[in-house]
Amino acid sequence: MIKLLIDRQLPSSDAIAARRNFSEILHGLPKKKTINSPWFYGAIGFSSVIFLILLNFFV
Amino acid sequence: MSASLLYFDRFGKPEDELAIIERAKLNPEYFAPLYRKYHEAIFRYVFKRVDEEESAYDITSCVFIKALTNLPKYEYRGIPFSSWLFRIAKSELYQSFRDKKARRTISIDSMQIGKVMEEFQIDESEHKREVLLKVLPLLKESQLQLIEMRFFEKRSFREMGEILDLTENNAKVKTFRALIKLKELYSKTNNIKN
């Protein structure tokens, strides 16, 4: 159900400005996922080496 | 002064903002001037559509978080940045209505009701005003939005079109149709009451 408000008092520009908080906005941004684990890079490196060895065998 | 000139006077030239936007795409901290510039306008837009002030502040914050998150996808295609923000505000509002975090509200000044009655060419009386207010929520949401923007927020058709993703002409036609619908509802209810 829609609510009707007649002659509602809008907050003043000063009151709105006082609630501005840019750091809150920056804080609310989703964190970028970065993979810093050496295991991740190690696993990729290791599987690449295995792949190359197998490729050497079968081709 | 024409409506479009007033519009750009209110929000500045789009070219001025593009440089800030490009910088902010690389580092969100550069977005601060745009946040300061549009915070109040977005808050007022949201505030008029929700019943609680705190919800309006929360939704406004969500709008800017979403804007900053999606900023890398923003490309200037003739539509001002402000309209892009209002579009995000519109979708955030509907999301909060769906999640029942806020209640759909129409905030009207008595003076603005007079303007709608003037458009209908009906003389103002307490009874007629009551009938009009009673039928207003019976409009479809899309029609209500148009009436709200045109008569209660005094937006130009161009601005309305940009926010609602319509052409200026289409916004004009749809507003006219919404008015006809409102007039129909008003006549029906007024006849029943009489």
Q: pLDDT per residue over B101-147, tens digit each?
A: 889 999 988 888 887 788 777 777 778 888 888 888 899 999 999 99
pTM: 0.80
Distance of residue B54 Cα from the nearest chain A Cα, in angstroms: 10
Cross-chain Cβ contact A20/B39 below 8 Å? yes
Q: pLDDT per residue over A7-25, tens digit each?
A: 999 999 999 999 999 999 9
Distance CA B88, CA A26 (A): 17
Q: Six-digit token pair at B44?
A: 């007022």
Closest partner residue to A4 (CB to CB) among B32, B57, B133 is B133
Distance CA B169, CA B64 (A): 30
Question: Is ipTM beyond 0.85?
Answer: no
Tabulate helix, strand, coil % of chain A (nearest 5). 60, 5, 35
Residue A35 at interface with chain B, using a CB cutoff of 8 Å: no
